[in-house]
Amino acid sequence: MIFMHAGQILNAACGPLATTPVSQLSCLWFGSNQRTRATTIAIFTHKLGGAIAFLTSSAIVSLPGHIPRLLYIHLGLTFVACVVVLIYFPVQPPTAPSGAAELLMSYRTDRPNVSSWRISMKNVGRCMTTPSMVLLSTAGGIIAGTFGAWTGLFDTILKPENYSEQQSGWFAFGTLISCIVGGLCFGALADTRYFQRRLKILIVLAFICCFLAVFFFELSVHTVFYDKPLLHSTSLIIGLSVAFAGFFQGAALPLIYEAMAEIMFPLPESLSASILLQWLNITALILLFIAPNRAKLINLLVLIALGTSIIMSLLARITYRRRDEDERKECEKENEQVLNSDNMDPYQNQSISQSQYGSIS
């Protein structure tokens, strides 16, 4: 039992190392028109692993005595990942894919190691005193934490509607898959030129649609307001409502990561992401004490959290400092290329100019 608790502690301690730097890695390794998709993939990779585990764990563990078999498989997968990291895990690309990545790489090398802790605390204070950053990180953390607790209680919420534990598990699985699909769809949309500076529209739209989907779900189950569902509860209605809720919740989360990175630039993206994760953990911890035998209350809290997040997102003001830096660097490189071409062949440029404007004979 001691080793089990120690393993869980180590597993939890390593979690932030994989979930915090997602937006920073996308900035370092991908161009400005690929960042949101890269962030989405990094965020939802562990959810994909959870979905695969849902499908395979029952085949691996059919009896309680087979649990060690599953743990050994986890150990083997962890060992493979560790070996791959040891073989090849570069800190940064050889050349910066964007101006923001170039500045981030210089930021990492120019800071002295002696005062890194003091600089980190100063940067955290700067994040917590930026209103838009606080609004978006709180909204994203509350939604992610509440939504996770809500989907984890599907068996309790749907039991009065005569759904089995296995059916509730499939509903949660569908929600998980729709989260991934929603993140990928909105991530690709956010990377288009039209929406690169319109993240707020996409975030608010995703939250509103998620609110409507959860509200429709609650019309089909018992809640604190009424003992009898207002709509007839069917598998199709429940499945569609939780699928749409997961789709739009998954769509909003990567956009919030990217919006916070834009607001707090040139600070490292991992800093703003870590603050969001802290809000998520705090929310999940609070709900851990509220959730037992209070499924109706969790239903209400999900709606309240979504409504609050919509208001917070509307009040936030997203400034695209990182994208401005990218465009500024691109303009500088274009001007530099023009100057270099002018210096290399002035006679050719003169003849082009004369042919363009005409010459006096």
Q: E strand or H helix at 141, and its extent?
A: helix 131-152
Task: Give the pLDDT of residue 360.
Answer: 40
Please, which pLDDT band fits residue 296 given cuts at 50, 70 and 90? confident
Q: E strand or H helix at 357, and its extent?
A: helix 346-357
Rounded Cα gap, residues 105 and 99, in angstroms: 10
Residue 345 lies in a domain: no
Rounded Cα gap, residues 7 and 189, in angstroms: 40
Structure tokens at 188: 């690709």
Residue with tokens 């005595």: 65
Residue 115 lies in a domain: no
What value does the mean pLDDT of the chain take?
84
Task: Give the pLDDT of residue 107.
Answer: 66
Task: Give the pLDDT of residue 41.
Answer: 92
Please, which pLDDT band fits residue 361 given cuts at 50, 70 and 90? very low
Residue 147 lies in a domain: yes
Task: Give the pLDDT of residue 58.
Answer: 73
Is pLDDT at 231 greater than 70 in this prediction? yes
Residue 357 lies in a domain: no
Q: E strand or H helix at 280, and its extent?
A: helix 269-290
Size (the chain), residues: 361
Q: Which residue has the higher pLDDT, 21 or 208?
A: 208
Please report, for the domain that includes residue 309, its CATH number: 1.20.1250.20
- Within 8 A by CB and 6+ apart from 317, the residues are 131, 132
User: Tens digit of pLDDT for each residue in 137-159?
Assistant: 999 999 998 988 888 888 888 88
Could you tell me the residue range of the domain that residue 99 belongs to?
2-103+120-322
Most confidently modeled range among 55-69, 115-129, 245-259, 271-285: 245-259
Task: Give the pLDDT of residue 91.
Answer: 82
* End-to-end Cα spacing for the chain: 97
Q: Which of 140, 150, 332, 156 is nearest to 254 (CA)?
A: 140
Average of pLDDT values for 76-86?
89
Residue 343 lies in a domain: no
User: Tens digit of pLDDT for each residue in 167-207?
Assistant: 888 998 999 999 999 999 999 999 999 998 999 999 999 99
Please, which pLDDT band fits residue 356 given cuts at 50, 70 and 90? very low
Q: DSSP for 189-211, please give it.
A: HHTSTTTTT-HHHHHHHHHHHHH
Residue 207 lies in a domain: yes
Please, which pLDDT band fits residue 25 given cuts at 50, 70 and 90? confident
| Tally of domains within the chain | 1
Most confidently modeled range among 47-61, 149-163, 245-259: 245-259
Residue 360 lies in a domain: no
Residue 188 lies in a domain: yes
Please, which pLDDT band fits residue 209 given cuts at 50, 70 and 90? very high
C-alpha distances (whole Å) from 24 to each of 18, 21, 104, 199, 295 are: 11, 5, 9, 18, 37
Q: Which of 161, 163, 142 is nearest to 222 (CA)?
A: 161
Contact 233, 221 (CB under 8 A): yes
pTM of the model: 0.86
Structure tokens at 256: 């919030």
